[in-house]
A and B are shown apart, each in its own frame.
Chain A
Amino acid sequence: MAKITFITSDNETITLEGTSGSVMALAVDNGIKGIDGDCGGVCSCATCHVHVAAEDMDKTGSASEIEADMLELDDNVDEFSRLCCQLEISDSIDGIVLKVAK
């Protein structure tokens, strides 16, 4: 079980709990604004872009090469950017805070 907090672009804070699957799927199922997950999580649409809180980066790790190539051309990419369809829910990411990019 992991608690994950999303901060949307209009500064709403929502904390959700999940046990498995991707963070993107959890967000989409709960209608988090700004996370669309168009491609269903195969890393081809970049509609699941989040900024991981700096202190949580060691829990999530940084983007893989393919993911980074997708993000590179996104407007507000930074070193905390991840595509959250590539984050698997597990105890090890409990408590992370994600700022939705869009």
Chain B
Amino acid sequence: MNRIVYLLVKNGYLSEKNYIQFCRTIGEIPFNKISNQDYHMKKSELPDPFEKARLDKGYGKMNDQNDPVTMLLRLKDVRKSAHDYKTFQSAAKPGRIVVPSEVNIRDTRQIPFEVDPPQHGEYRAIVEPWFKRPLLPEYQEKLTAQISTLVDGILNKDNLEVINEFALPLQSRALTLLLNAPYSEAETWISWGTHVFRSEGEALDSDKANILYNYIDDQIDRAVKNPGEDMYSLLLSSEFQGKKLTKEEVKGVMVLTFAGGRDTVINAVTNSISYLAEHPEALERFRKEPEIIGKAVEEFIRYFSPLTQMGRVVTEDTQVCEHAIKADSRISLCWASANRDASVFESPNEIVLDRKINPHVGFGFSHHNCLGATHARQILKILLNTLAEKVESIEIMDCKENIEHLDEFERKVGFNSIHVKFKSLT
């Protein structure tokens, strides 16, 4: 009730003065934005926890398993440092550039992610054409059919948990297209649940990660015996510096493809649904102006920034924002903060569906920019198109936020669970 009254005031249907007088008359405490921020916040909003630190000093600090990280928060610094691979390297000990660090749970180097130029470019050249396949019409047709079937199956369902019953199957099935693997493999990946690397309650769990590693080992052995048209076979027949890729290298690429494209896509899909639930007019707009969907996807990626940050290891004593950083310590490129930098983005905390100039770094920047971006963009474009075509409105029943604890900062990245109902058009 209070929220409704508050919205009436906020949207100008009721003057603030009348509202306060009215509250006094009936003995209610008036709502105001500050004391009731959480209450008034829309569920789909992702607040920017970095603003103050970004403006004041430009960096933040976080401890992570005794290997602290200096987080770069401004767009320009993030871009410059992402470009400067000589000072800020990715080819450190495997797992160290990930925050939280994974040095204790894996030894496999992820390729091309944990390699620096010039080798990085040679590895990327092997897989780049493969990762551009989502631009082909037949790929898009198959993806459209998958998403359309999935949406038809959940329309008007009374209580749908989006992450497990929608985003995870969507992501897993779409991945069969990217790998050119049998559709039925998706069932295996779905059965792993969202936490492939973690048991309940534990941050990192090597046993759980082994499920994925063992699966990939088996798939590589299968492709060695029976080469086919899938991504494993492509990699096994590719050469790096004149030599066939080793099984370990193939594994490095495949693990990365599974890991990098899982939580990120699930987050992006889930946050998009929650946004549309609270903004049914956006669905209406996509129906009327489908040409803005491409821009809307970029804006969702900017605003949601499904990957908060990625680290680098500093190779020589240097400084960022007048702050000294020692060789062999870590920095991170905080994409989520850079994407709210008001010196670049007007109204950075608002989703502007057709934002025309949107130089975001949600997919990273420079050498390591996201290889899966073509695939991810197609998923989101087709999803928005399909929802606009079939869905009138979405109602959120209840949800649990997923908050990342980054020492100084608490960042909402999305949801641990969110129950909704999709109402079909007509």
Partner among B295, B359, B366 whose Cβ is within 8 Å of the Cβ of A69: B359
Question: With A and B bound together, what is the CA distance between A72 and B83 in angstroms?
Answer: 10
Shortest Cβ distance from B76 into A: residue:
A69
- Please tell me if B318 contacts chain A, counting CB pairs below 8 Å: no
| Given A38-B373, A38-B374, A43 contacting B83 (CB threshold 8 A) | no
Question: With A and B bound together, what is the CA distance between A64 and B355 in angstroms?
Answer: 16
Q: Are A42 and B295 in contact (CB under 8 A)?
A: yes
Q: Are B83 and A42 in contact (CB under 8 A)?
A: no
Shortest Cβ distance from B357 into A: residue:
A43
- Please tell me if B173 contacts chain A, counting CB pairs below 8 Å: no
> Which positions 352-407 of chain B face chain A at CB distance < 8 Å?
355-361, 363, 365-366, 369, 373-374, 377
Partner among B295, B357, B377 whose Cβ is within 8 Å of the Cβ of A66: B357
A99 to chain B, nearest CB (A): 22
Q: Are A40 and B298 in contact (CB under 8 A)?
A: yes
- Please tell me if A92 contacts chain B, counting CB pairs below 8 Å: no
- Please tell me if A39 contacts chain B, counting CB pairs below 8 Å: yes
Q: Are A42 and B355 in contact (CB under 8 A)?
A: yes
User: Hey, what's the 0/1 contact readout for A4-44 against B, CB within 8 Å counting as 1?
Assistant: 00000000000000000000000000000000001111111
Q: Are A43 and B366 in contact (CB under 8 A)?
A: no
Question: With A and B bound together, what is the CA distance between A102 and B346 in angstroms?
Answer: 31
- Please tell me if B325 contacts chain A, counting CB pairs below 8 Å: no
| Given A66-B344, A73-B366, A42 contacting B79 (CB threshold 8 A) | no
> B residues within 8 A CB of A64?
357
B: contact size bracket: 20 to 34
A56 to chain B, nearest CB (A): 23
Interface of A is mostly: loop
Number of contacting residues on A, CB 8 A?
Answer: 14
- Please tell me if B280 contacts chain A, counting CB pairs below 8 Å: no
User: Hey, what's the 0/1 contact readout for A63-85 against B, CB within 8 Å counting as 1?
Assistant: 01010011001000000000000
Q: Are A43 and B358 in contact (CB under 8 A)?
A: yes
- Please tell me if B3 contacts chain A, counting CB pairs below 8 Å: no
A32 to chain B, nearest CB (A): 14
Q: Are B366 and A44 in contact (CB under 8 A)?
A: no
With a 10 A CB-CB cut-off, give which of A42, A66, A73 has the most chain B CB atoms.
A42
Question: With A and B bound together, what is the CA distance between A42 and B359 in angstroms?
Answer: 7
> A residues within 8 A CB of B360?
44
A68 to chain B, nearest CB (A): 11
Q: Are A42 and B357 in contact (CB under 8 A)?
A: yes
> A residues within 8 A CB of B297?
40
- Please tell me if B294 contacts chain A, counting CB pairs below 8 Å: yes
Q: Are A70 and B359 in contact (CB under 8 A)?
A: yes
- Please tell me if B93 contacts chain A, counting CB pairs below 8 Å: no
Partner among A38, A39, A40, A73 whose Cβ is within 8 Å of the Cβ of B80: A73
Shortest Cβ distance from B82 into A: residue:
A73
Q: List 26 A-B contacts (CB under 8 A).
A: A38-B373, A38-B374, A38-B377, A39-B298, A40-B298, A40-B377, A42-B295, A42-B298, A42-B357, A42-B358, A42-B359, A43-B359, A44-B358, A44-B359, A44-B360, A45-B369, A66-B357, A66-B359, A69-B76, A69-B344, A70-B359, A73-B79, A73-B80, A73-B83, A73-B366, A86-B357
List the interface of chain B (C-beta within 8 A of A). 76, 79-80, 83, 294-295, 297-298, 344, 355-361, 363, 365-366, 369, 373-374, 377
Q: Lowest 3 A-B CB distances belong to which pairs?
A: A40-B294, A42-B358, A73-B83
